[in-house]
A and B are shown apart, each in its own frame.
Chain A
Amino acid sequence: MEGTLFNIFAGLAVLSALLVVANPFNRNPVTSALFLVTTMISISGLFVLLGAYFLAAVQILVYAGAVMVLFLFVIMLLDLREGARRKLNLVSLAMGLMAVGALFLVYKSSIDQTYGSEAPSHEAVADAGQAEAKPVKAVGSTRALGQALFSPDNGFILPFEIVSVLLLVAMVGVILLSRKEPR
């Protein structure tokens, strides 16, 4: 059951991510944005499978909700239809595919060696914190995450406050940037 769900969500996430970047049928940015929404929702499904329920909800609210609405708003504000007519540069496409493919292969082989089926020995992996050896699995319910975030002795209260200041700075900066030219 869990494996099937994982396959569905992972496949959907990767497929729609590909359609965000290189959609062969449609070069409109709005299409890319909508496929990005699909990717975000699939990723939040993966979060549910991983027991991170709070983060799954936040992922949908913040990404699929706020961020993508912002993206669509800007796309429609700028009215970028002529971008759809431009052709991709074939040389840059080939070079990009080569570079990214090589990077992905390096990553894949290192994952296979560390966590894959041909991983060294079960005991050695268990020391590194592998799944089957550890019966205790972290479940990120809202309560657990809140306690991890705000516990007085080893919590993240100062980073939390700094992030709130960062949001304020971003808000003021955006207002300053998007103002018309000062008279």
Chain B
Amino acid sequence: MEPTLGQYLMVSGALFAIGLLGVIVRRNLLIIYMSLELMLNAANVALVAMSRFNGNLDGQVMVFFIITVAAAEVAVGLALIVALYRKRQTAEVADLATMKL
């Protein structure tokens, strides 16, 4: 039996929720970053599913752009993390509290 659009959207929602949970709960910068990637991918699944079931390729073109921008974003973000690590010798958000009042 062919899966329905609702099932695909459910998978996408579950992936997004797990990614959001990771961003909220985890304290390691790199894992927070991986969770962000997870959320981007959840959005991609939803877009491709919608594109498929609406008979229109625009959603897939959108996903193409999202993947490109995500790749650029990962490169910049990881460079920021490395620069931060060089300055502070840590990748835990709990230790990065200099701006706290």
Contact of A167 among B33, B45, B68 (CB under 8 A): B68
B72/A167 in contact, CB under 8 A: yes
Contact of A149 among B17, B31, B61, B67 (CB under 8 A): B61
B7/A6 in contact, CB under 8 A: yes
For A99, list chain B residues within 8 Å (CB): 24
Q: Taking the nearest CB of chain B, how far is it from the CB of A33, in angstroms?
A: 7
Chain B positions 45 through 57: 1 when the CB is less than 8 Å from some CB of chain A, otherwise 0: 1001101111111
Central interface residue in B9, B33, B55, B64, by most chain A CB within 10 Å: B64
In the complex, the chain A residue whose C-beta lies closest to that of B7 is A6
- From known contacts A36-B34, A138-B51, infer whether A62 and B71 are also in contact, taking CB-CB under 8 Å: yes
For B24, list chain A residues within 8 Å (CB): 92, 95-96, 99-100
Question: A30 CA to B79 CA in the complex, in Å?
Answer: 18
B61/A29 in contact, CB under 8 A: no
Q: Taking the nearest CB of chain A, how far is it from the CB of B50, in angstroms?
A: 8
We find that the number of chain B residues with CB closer than 8 angstroms to chain A is 71
Contact of A138 among B11, B18, B56 (CB under 8 A): B56
Question: A103 CA to B23 CA in the complex, in Å?
Answer: 14
A3/B1 in contact, CB under 8 A: yes
A148/B61 in contact, CB under 8 A: yes
For A66, list chain B residues within 8 Å (CB): 71
Is B97 close to A, CB under 8 A? no
Chain A positions 93 through 131: 1 when the CB is less than 8 Å from some CB of chain B, otherwise 0: 101110111011001100110111000000000000111
Chain A residues packing against B (C-beta within 8 Å): 2-3, 6, 10, 13-14, 17-18, 20-22, 29, 32-33, 36, 39-40, 43, 46-47, 49-52, 54-55, 58-59, 62-63, 66-67, 70-71, 74-75, 77-78, 80, 83, 86, 88-89, 92-93, 95-97, 99-101, 103-104, 107-108, 111-112, 114-116, 129-131, 134, 136-138, 140, 144-145, 148-149, 156, 159, 163, 166-167, 169-171, 173-174, 177-178
User: Which 8 pairs between the two chains have the least Cβ-Cβ distance?
Assistant: A115-B6, A21-B22, A170-B72, A96-B24, A104-B17, A6-B3, A177-B79, A148-B57
